[in-house]
């Protein structure tokens, strides 16, 4: 037979597998969320790199190496209008701001290093993702940084030739000499090709040389200008809130999946447990039915045996009774015959109880007065209490209940006989009825005997369980059988008299007058 414990051991690998699958799913969801977070950060940094390339193109768009501040501010403002970009800060070689756009209050130049990336809750600060000091190409070539020149109304005079400098608040344009340009140097002539006879234009005298320094500016002035106004590096402040919101939504979605899967696993585990228990209970029920069938057949066989045994005992008792009544029988023989008759009566009584218990009663309900039935039982028990200091009290009442009068008489006889056998002298037995809830009646039998121990108050109703040497163990079992047939309840407690109290409840009261015999 497969027991519940054996089935639980067989289901243990399945439970472990389900839990392991959920743990693997939870770990996978966590790893995927971290991967998604890395991808989101990489994508945001790639967008920062794209912006950096745009800024680098702006810085290299001027071949002269000069870019006006107003044009640069307009270009930066257009970039800042993008949702992900909050601010741009252009820095010189000293780390001072040359130009900026957007909300720069989060920027602290003292806390950043070149190439640094700093993440915060709502933003990310990036310092130079491209090299602004190199020419684009396969191999980087060092060049001077782009110089941000002020607007025309406040243009630095050092950017203009000495003849074009404004000394009165306005700019005067220097007149160029009229006439043909001077002849080019011999090495500038074109000696072949369609432009063989043409000559290159002369280079203006104020043009910047190969190092980018104007000829009218000294080397120290030019280096100071580059240090102050040279576009050397930049800082980007990007908005990380959309990324944070997307990651939060991804995390919540994965948590929901994990919780739903956990509930599913828990439901499967609970279902497996309930299935195991229900299967075990079903097997026990089938086995109990088989045992009940076997016990019923055995009970019927035992009842038949008891019935067949009772008939010869009646014959033996009749013969013993004839010997007892024969005047020729000696007194010793009569005494022994009376002992035989007492033993036969005891065996017959137990056989009758067994036969009654083996046949489930079929009650025929009628209006019955329980106290009247109890009074009749008291009269029948007078011979058992004769010569003993035992009193049976029955409180008469006019209550009527729906019951089988013969079965109720048998029930009260067993309860009152059990009390008579249990009490010591002086003994007191009290039977009374009292109304309960819902139109029901409670019938109570009290005694002042030793009572029933609390741990035995359920056992006394089991067949063949008795605490008396003279008891058969079937009296209270028959009482419970009659109660079950009527739909009543029987309970054993402590009586106010100090002994046992048997409370019969659930008796349905009726107004129909009691049946007359």
Does some domain include residue 397?
A: yes
Does some domain include residue 129?
A: no
Partners of residue 262 on adjacent β-strands: none
- Is a pLDDT exceeding 80 seen at residue 123? yes
Confidence of residue 32 (pLDDT cuts 50, 70, 90): very high
- Is a pLDDT exceeding 90 seen at residue 430? yes
pLDDT digits (tens, 9 = 90+) for 50-73: 888 877 777 766 656 677 777 777
- Structural domain range at position 452: 363-508
Does some domain include residue 410?
A: yes
Rounded mean pLDDT of the chain? 77
Range list of H helices, 131-240: 219-229
Does some domain include residue 406?
A: yes
Does some domain include residue 239?
A: no
Return the pLDDT at 137.
40
Does some domain include residue 504?
A: yes
Return the pLDDT at 113.
65
pLDDT digits (tens, 9 = 90+) for 266-296: 999 888 888 888 887 888 888 778 877 776 6
State yes or no: cis peptide before 426, omega within 30 of 0. yes
Span 366-388, average pLDDT: 88
Span 487-510, average pLDDT: 90
Span 103-119, average pLDDT: 69
Span 123-147, average pLDDT: 59
* Burial (0-12, 13-18, 19+ Cβ within 10 Å), 448: buried
Return the pLDDT at 433.
92
CATH of residue 392's domain is: 3.30.565.10
Does some domain include residue 302?
A: no
Span 442-461, average pLDDT: 89
Report which DSSP code applies to 125.
Answer: E
Tokens 């019938």 belong to: 443
232 vs 92: CA distance, rounded Å: 5
- Do β-strands 366-368 and 440-447 pair in parallel, antiparallel, or remain unpaired? unpaired
Return the pLDDT at 76.
80
Confidence of residue 38 (pLDDT cuts 50, 70, 90): very high
pLDDT digits (tens, 9 = 90+) for 463-497: 777 776 666 677 888 888 889 889 999 999 998 98
Does some domain include residue 82?
A: no
Q: Please report, for residues 382, 384, 425, the alpha-carbon distance to residue 387 in angstroms, rounded to integers and kept in the order given.
A: 10, 8, 11
347 vs 339: CA distance, rounded Å: 12
Structural domain total, the chain: 1
Return the pLDDT at 28.
94
Q: What percent of the chain has pLDDT over 70?
A: 72
Return the pLDDT at 30.
93
Return the pLDDT at 23.
93
Partners of residue 148 on adjacent β-strands: 67
15 vs 307 pLDDT, higher one: 15
């Amino acid at each position: 037979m497969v027991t519940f414990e054996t089935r639980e051991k067989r289901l243990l690998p399945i439970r472990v597998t389900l839990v392991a699958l959920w743990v693997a799913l939870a770990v996978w969801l966590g790893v995927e969320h971290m991967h998604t977070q890395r991808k989101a950060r990489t994508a945001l940094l790639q967008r920062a790199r794209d912006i950096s390339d745009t800024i680098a193109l702006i810085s290299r768009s001027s071949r002269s190496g000069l870019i006006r501040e107003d044009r640069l501010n307009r270009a930066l403002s257009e970039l800042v209008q993008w949702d992900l970009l909050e601010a741009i800060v252009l820095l010189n070689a000293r780390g001072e701001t040359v130009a900026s756009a957007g909300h720069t209050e989060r920027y602290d130049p003292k806390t950043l290093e070149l190439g640094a990336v700093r993440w915060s809750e709502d933003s990310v600060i990036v310092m130079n993702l491209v090299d602004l000091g190199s020419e684009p190409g396969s191999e980087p070539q060092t060049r001077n940084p782009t110089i941000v020149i002020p607007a025309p109304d406040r243009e630095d005079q050092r950017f203009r030739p000495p003849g074009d400098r404004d000394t009165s608040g306005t700019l005067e344009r220097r007149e160029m000499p009229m006439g043909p340009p001077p002849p080019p140097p011999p090495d500038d002539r074109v000696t072949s090709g369609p432009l063989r006879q043409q000559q290159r234009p002369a280079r203006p005298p104020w043009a910047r040389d190969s190092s980018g320094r104007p000829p009218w500016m000294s080397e120290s002035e030019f280096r100071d200008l580059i240090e102050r106004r040279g576009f050397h590096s930049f800082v980007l402040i990007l908005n990380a809130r959309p990324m944070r919101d997307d990651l939060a939504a991804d995390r919540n979605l994965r948590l929901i999946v994990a919780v739903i899967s956990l509930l599913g696993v828990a439901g499967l585990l609970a279902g497996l447990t309930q299935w195991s228990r229900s299967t075990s209970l079903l097997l026990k029920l089938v086995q109990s039915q088989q045992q009940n069938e076997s016990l019923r057949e055995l009970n019927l066989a035992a009842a038949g045996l008891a019935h067949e045994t009772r008939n010869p005992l009646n014959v033996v008792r009749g013969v013993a009774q004839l010997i007892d009544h024969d005047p020729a029988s000696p007194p010793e023989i009569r005494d022994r015959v009376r002992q035989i008759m007492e033993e036969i009566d005891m065996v017959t009584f137990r056989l009758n109880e067994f036969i009654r218990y083996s046949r489930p009663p079929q009650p025929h309900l009628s209006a019955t007065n329980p106290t009247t039935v109890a009074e009749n039982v008291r009269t029948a028990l007078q011979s058992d209490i004769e010569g003993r200091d035992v009193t049976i009290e029955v409180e008469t009442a006019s209550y009527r209940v729906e019951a089988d009068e013969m079965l109720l008489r048998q029930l009260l006889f067993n309860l009152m006989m059990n009390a008579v056998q249990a009490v010591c002298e002086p003994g007191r037995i009290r039977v009374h009825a009292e109304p309960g809830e819902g139109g029901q009646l409670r019938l109570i039998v009290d005694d002042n005997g030793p009572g029933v121990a609390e741990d035995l108050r359920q056992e006394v109703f089991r067949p063949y369980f008795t605490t008396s040497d003279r008891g058969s163990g079937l009296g209270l079992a028959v009482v419970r059988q009659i109660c079950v047939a009527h739909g009543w309840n029987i309970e054993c407690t402590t009586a106010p008299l100090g002994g046992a109290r048997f409370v019969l409840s659930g008796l349905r009261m009726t107004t129909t007058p009691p049946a007359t015999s």
